[in-house]
Structure formats: structure tokens, C-alpha cells
Amino acid sequence: MDTLISKGKSANKPLVVAGCVPQGSRNLKELEGVSIVGVQQIDRVIEVVEETLKGHEVRLLNRRTLPALDLPKVRKNKFIEILPINVGCLGACTYCKTKHARGHLGSYTMESLVRRVKSVISEGVREVWLSSEDTGAYGRDIGVNLPILLKAIIAELPSTGSTMLRVGMTNPPYILEHLKEIAEVLCHPSVYSFLHVPVQSGSNSVLTAMNREYTVEEFRTVVDTLTTLVPGMQIATDIICGFPGETDDDFDQTVELIKEYKLAQVHISQFYPRPGTPAARMKKVPSAIVKKRSRQLTAVFESFTPYNGMEGLIERVWITDVAADGIHLVGHTKGYIQVLIKESPETLLGASATVRITSVGRWSVFGEVIEILSSSVPDRALNKDDSSHNISSSCGAGAEPCACSSELDSCCGGGHCADTAEATVSPLNGTPAEDAQNVNERRKRKTLVSNGTESVESRKPNLKEEFIKVRASTSQWNYIDKSLIAGIILSFLVAVVSLSELWFRKTKSS
Ligand code: SF4
């Protein structure tokens, strides 16, 4: 960000910086002289840009109501809707900078979220990812909870199973209260049996120093309950190596935890002190030790072979992307295991199919399509029970992962936060399908602009009316003035005539 700002400044460009960093650290030296927009005013970015282009420096950081969920946007992957269910969290982790930017929990209403899900499904979205700093805390500020929301959303998903729901990251504390209900939800055929639960450390004393508000035993309860109740359940977690005060013994407990569960996805990061956080004032573990621990844990994790034994299995997969090699399509099983499908046409994007697993790798498995179960055509255009429709051609770019993890959730680990993977501006180039979407977006915006013009125009007659009124009233005064003047003249003449009459009579009598 510093580099970009310096480049922009030296080229004399008007600059706007938006997101978590200006919200959390508004007084940064680097932000001097540039316009900044916080996380809850992103819907006002057009105003900010316009004012900045006029040469004004704008600072829009005050929190107000949550931004609308249906702001115009272009999805990086047109089959995936990333839906924030709340902003902020109820935590106060000592290493976290995200909290400074996102603040206290603010949940969207269930009605607005369900409405949004219905709307994006009709647009052809095939996966809805619920995102949050902590999905488990959803609704505690508005008297509902996550299972209630999930059930309401599931009721709107197509019965063909063409559209999947992915529940985003949750910390252990609040999800503990609803484990059985969450397990029920994750068993639903249209919900991925996958959850990202960041544990951060296998040592209770480190968790206390982090102020994570749960114990390792509680994390175990979450994992054990879900893996017992949900067939094929997959859990991802995060670890921060070298948190201040972490001893060799603490680190060994983390290694043991990871070895015991052999989770297929573990996002390992090294502790980095974020300015202004309590952890930044704690005594650091020497960086050589932090690096060594991180390497050691990575080696342990990479030695797992989580997908061995899957060869020959038949799985339903949902195909939403093209792999970085440009050859394979990317699908996911119900447990959100990545399946790479070779030699399949791109027309399978957005479809769901049964796939035979042909081989396995460390990070994903390979498969071949046996049967297409649902196509990429939006359900509103189909008879829902008919799965044999033609498949439309489409292509979506991959979504970007969070800076600290391959997950797209808002960060809840180490405060390494990348914002939403969706952009609110149109790219200049794209596939025909994206172009069509851009045209729609532009049309929408145009309608908005047109409405704006109409409202300005509609004020003009009023202004004219006011003007006419003023003129009419001015004419009325002129008339009165004239009448008054005429009256005065008449009175003057009457007085002159009367005085002349008196003078004449007096002269005559004398
Ligand atoms: S790490 Fe996550 S739960 Fe903790 S304060 Fe930050 S955003 Fe909240």
C-alpha cells in the first residue's frame, strides 16, 4: 500500500484508500493527503472519488448502518456469491488489528440475507459462501443465531442440489452452544460438510495470552462432535507460530494437536506484531525460533496424506472454476475436497456432476465425470426436476484467497486481512458472459443515474413555479402600487378641486 501511495503521489494522481487499514489506522503517516473511506461507507465511494477529483481530501470513517447487500458488484467468479452475514465480532484477541477496523458485531437481518440469497440464485450463482470474522457469533446482537439463519437460507436453495451453501469461519466459543444444530445443517445435501475453525495454538496458556476465550479442550469438542455427527466432515484450522511467550512446551502441544487430528487444511503463519495491539507490546519470541517452529510445523502438516484411499470413489462434485494450469476444471466434493477434472469441457462450469476419483495428490484429488446432475443454467430457466438440459458456456476467474490463508473468510488470524474477493467496479475486459454481466451492471447504474437526472429535472418545474410565483406576486404589487398612486393622484385632484371651490366661494362672498 505504501508503495502504491508513493507512486500515485509522485505522479500527482488523486488518491482514495479504502478498507480496513484506513479504518483501523487513520493516523498513519502514509495516509496524509489522501482521501480515505472506511469499511462501512464503501457504498459512498462514488461521492468520495468525485470530491477527490475536485481536489478535496475526504475522510469518511464514521460507522453508521451496514452497507446494503445489493450494491452493484462484479463477481470474480460469477458462480460464487460471497455474502457477509455480519461485520465485526465479539472477540478482543490481543494480536488482532482486524477488530480495530471492523469493530463490534453488527449482524445483517435474516430477512435481508435470505432475500439476497434468493436474488443471487436467480442470477445463476452456484455457491453461496457466508463470510464473517466469526459466523458463530452471528445474530447475538439482534436476537437470532446462526442455526436459525442457516435453516432459513437452506429453505431457499434449489431442491435439485444445484446450489451449495458454504458456512464461513467460526471461532469455537459461540458455535459450542449450537453444535448439534450446526451438525444437522452440515449434513444437508446442499451444504458443504466443511468448517474453518481457527484454533491458533495447542496450548491453553498461549490461548489465554491471545485472549481467544476458549480452551484447546473446547476446540476438541467442536472437532470431535462435528466429525462424529457429520459424515465426511472436513475441518480447516489456523495456527500462529511464535506468539509472545510461547515456550517450546507450548509449541510441542500445538504440534501434537495437529498430528493427532491430521486436518487436511492448516494455515500456518508466523506471529507478526500489529501496531497498536496489546500483543505488539509483549516480549517477542526471537524471530529465528519463530521461523524454525513454523518450518517444523509445516513439515509435519505436509507429511499427511489426507486423501489416500479415495481412489475409485464416486462423488458428487460442484464445478465452479478453472485451475491455474488452464487445463483442469475445479470442483469440490460435499466435504469441500478439491477435485481436478481433466479433459472436461469448460461448459461444465457451474454444473454439478458425479465424478469417479482416479488418483489423489497431497492437496487435491483427480477425477473423471460420469454423469452431469445439474447444469449451469439458472434454475429459474429450468424445470427443476429435469437435469438433462444443455449446458451454457461460461467462464469465471478464480477468487483470491485471504492474505493469511487460502480461505476467503474475513481474517480471524494474525490480523492479516484481505478484504472481500469481489470488486465493486467493472473490469474493462472479460469473457462474453462477464461482459454481459457488466452491461447489466452498467444498465443498472445508468438507471440509477437516469433516476438521479429525473429527480433533478423534476425539481426544475418546481423551481420554475417558484420563479413564476415570485414574478406573479411582483406583478400583483405593481398593480397595487399603481392603484395606490392612482388613488393618491385622485385624492390630490379632489383636494385641489375642493380647495379651489372653497377659494372661489370665499372670493365671491367678499
Ligand atoms: S481475531 Fe477474529 S475474533 Fe479475534 S478480535 Fe480479531 S476478528 Fe475478532
Taking only the tens place, the pLDDT of each residue in 401-450 is 332 333 445 545 543 333 333 332 222 223 333 333 333 333 333 322 23
What is residue 405's predicted lDDT score, i.e. its pLDDT?
34
Residue 116 domain boundaries: 66-263+265-303+399-425
Q: Does residue 133 line the site of ligand 1, with CB under 6 A? A: yes
Structural domain ending residue among the three candidates 49, 65, 81: 65
Buried b (16+ CB within 10 A) or exposed e, 191-203: bbbbbbbbbbbbb
Look at residue 7 and tell me if it is in a domain. yes
Q: Does residue 99 line the site of ligand 1, with CB under 6 A? A: yes
Strand arrangement of the beta sheet that strand 127-131 belongs to:
80-84, 127-131, 164-167
Q: Does residue 134 line the site of ligand 1, with CB under 6 A? A: yes
Q: What is the DSSP letter of 89?
A: B
Q: Does residue 93 line the site of ligand 1, with CB under 6 A? A: yes
Residues 139 and 185 in one domain: yes
CA of 88 to the centre of ligand 1 (A): 8
Residues 14 and 29 in one domain: yes
Of 3-12, 98-107, 159-168, least confident by mean pLDDT is 98-107
Report the pLDDT averaged over residues 485-489.
75
Spatial CA neighbour of 26 closest among 47, 10, 41: 41
Q: Which atom of ligand 1 is nearest to the CA of 96?
A: 6
CA of 295 to the centre of ligand 1 (A): 25
Please state, for a pLDDT cut of 90, what percent of the chain lies above it: 60
Q: Which atom of ligand 1 is nearest to the CA of 137?
A: 3
Cα-atom radius of gyration of the chain, to the nearest Å? 33
Mean pLDDT of the chain: 80
Higher pLDDT, 433 or 211: 211
What is residue 344's predicted lDDT score, i.e. its pLDDT?
66
Q: Which atom of ligand 1 is nearest to the CA of 413?
A: 1
SS3 content of the chain, % helix, strand, coil (to 5): 40, 15, 40
Q: Does residue 46 line the site of ligand 1, with CB under 6 A? A: no
Q: Which of 171, 206, 211, 238 to mutate to test the pocket of ligand 1 (most atoms within 8 A of CB)?
A: 171
Q: Which residue type occupies 51?
A: E
Q: Which atom of ligand 1 is nearest to the CA of 171?
A: 3
Q: What's the pLDDT tens digit per position in 254-289?
A: 999 999 999 999 999 999 999 899 999 999 999 999
Look at residue 388 and tell me if it is in a domain. no
292 — pLDDT class (breaks 50, 70, 90): very high
Structural domain ending residue among the three candidates 45, 65, 85: 65
Per the rule left: phi > 0, alpha: psi between -120 and 50, beta: everything else, 139 is left
Q: What's the pLDDT tens digit per position in 76-128?
A: 899 999 999 999 999 999 999 988 888 899 999 999 999 999 999 999 999 99
Buried b (16+ CB within 10 A) or exposed e, 140-168: beeeebbbebbeebeebbbebbbbbbbbb
Residues 51 and 82 in one domain: no
Residues 82 and 29 in one domain: no
Look at residue 390 and tell me if it is in a domain. no
Residues 202 and 229 in one domain: yes
Q: Does residue 91 line the site of ligand 1, with CB under 6 A? A: yes
Higher pLDDT, 476 or 259: 259
Strands (E), 202-292: 234-241, 265-270
pLDDT of 194 over the 90 cut: yes
What is residue 24's predicted lDDT score, i.e. its pLDDT?
82
Report the pLDDT averaged over residues 231-253.
98
Nearest CA to ligand 1 atom 3: 91
| DSSP three-state, residue 161 | coil
What is residue 446's predicted lDDT score, i.e. its pLDDT?
30
Residues 193 and 113 in one domain: yes
Look at residue 309 and tell me if it is in a domain. no
CA of 330 to the centre of ligand 1 (A): 31
Residues 273 and 355 in one domain: no
Report the pLDDT averaged over residues 330-343.
94
CA dihedral 97, 98, 101, 104 (to 10 degrees): -110
Beta bridge partners of 80: 127
Structural domain ending residue among the three candidates 48, 65, 82: 65
Q: Which of 94, 134, 197, 208 to mutate to test the pocket of ligand 1 (most atoms within 8 A of CB)?
A: 134
Nearest CA to ligand 1 atom 4: 93
What is residue 321's predicted lDDT score, i.e. its pLDDT?
93
Give CA–CA dist 30/8, Å, rounded. Answer: 12
Q: Does residue 240 line the site of ligand 1, with CB under 6 A? A: no
pLDDT of 329 over the 90 cut: yes
Q: Does residue 277 line the site of ligand 1, with CB under 6 A? A: no
Residues 358 and 475 in one domain: no
pLDDT of 457 over the 80 cut: no
CA of 185 to the centre of ligand 1 (A): 24
Residues 74 and 156 in one domain: yes
Please state, for a pLDDT cut of 70, what percent of the chain lies above it: 77
Nearest CA to ligand 1 atom 1: 412
Q: Does residue 98 line the site of ligand 1, with CB under 6 A? A: yes
Look at residue 491 and tell me if it is in a domain. yes
* Residue partners of 499: CB distance under 8 A and separation at least 6: none
What is residue 493's predicted lDDT score, i.e. its pLDDT?
84
What is residue 352's predicted lDDT score, i.e. its pLDDT?
94
Look at residue 393 and tell me if it is in a domain. no
What is residue 429's predicted lDDT score, i.e. its pLDDT?
29
What is residue 389's predicted lDDT score, i.e. its pLDDT?
30
Q: Which atom of ligand 1 is nearest to the CA of 134?
A: 3
Look at residue 499 and tell me if it is in a domain. yes
Q: What's the pLDDT tens digit per position in 27-59?
A: 888 899 999 998 878 888 888 999 999 999 999
CA of 63 to the centre of ligand 1 (A): 18
Distances (CA, A) of 407 to 237, 285, 301, 365, 394: 10, 27, 17, 18, 24
Q: Does residue 207 line the site of ligand 1, with CB under 6 A? A: no
Residues 75 and 127 in one domain: yes
Give CA–CA dist 399/230, Å, rounded. Answer: 27
CA of 411 to the centre of ligand 1 (A): 8
pLDDT of 240 over the 80 cut: yes
What is residue 490's predicted lDDT score, i.e. its pLDDT?
79
Q: What is the DSSP letter of 280?
A: G
What is residue 378's predicted lDDT score, i.e. its pLDDT?
57
Give CA–CA dist 33/46, Å, rounded. Answer: 19
Q: Which residue type occupies 68?
A: A
Nearest CA to ligand 1 atom 2: 412
252 — pLDDT class (breaks 50, 70, 90): very high
pLDDT of 60 over the 50 cut: yes
Residues 417 and 446 in one domain: no
Q: Does residue 94 line the site of ligand 1, with CB under 6 A? A: no
Total tally of structural domains belonging to the chain: 4
Q: Which atom of ligand 1 is nearest to the CA of 95?
A: 1
Torsion 45-49-52-54 (CA) sign: negative
Residues 279 and 417 in one domain: yes
Task: Report the CATH number that the domain containing residue 373 is assigned in CATH.
Answer: 2.40.50.140
Q: Does residue 100 line the site of ligand 1, with CB under 6 A? A: no
Cβ atoms of 59 and 75 within 8 Å: the answer is no
Look at residue 387 and tell me if it is in a domain. no
CA of 404 to the centre of ligand 1 (A): 14
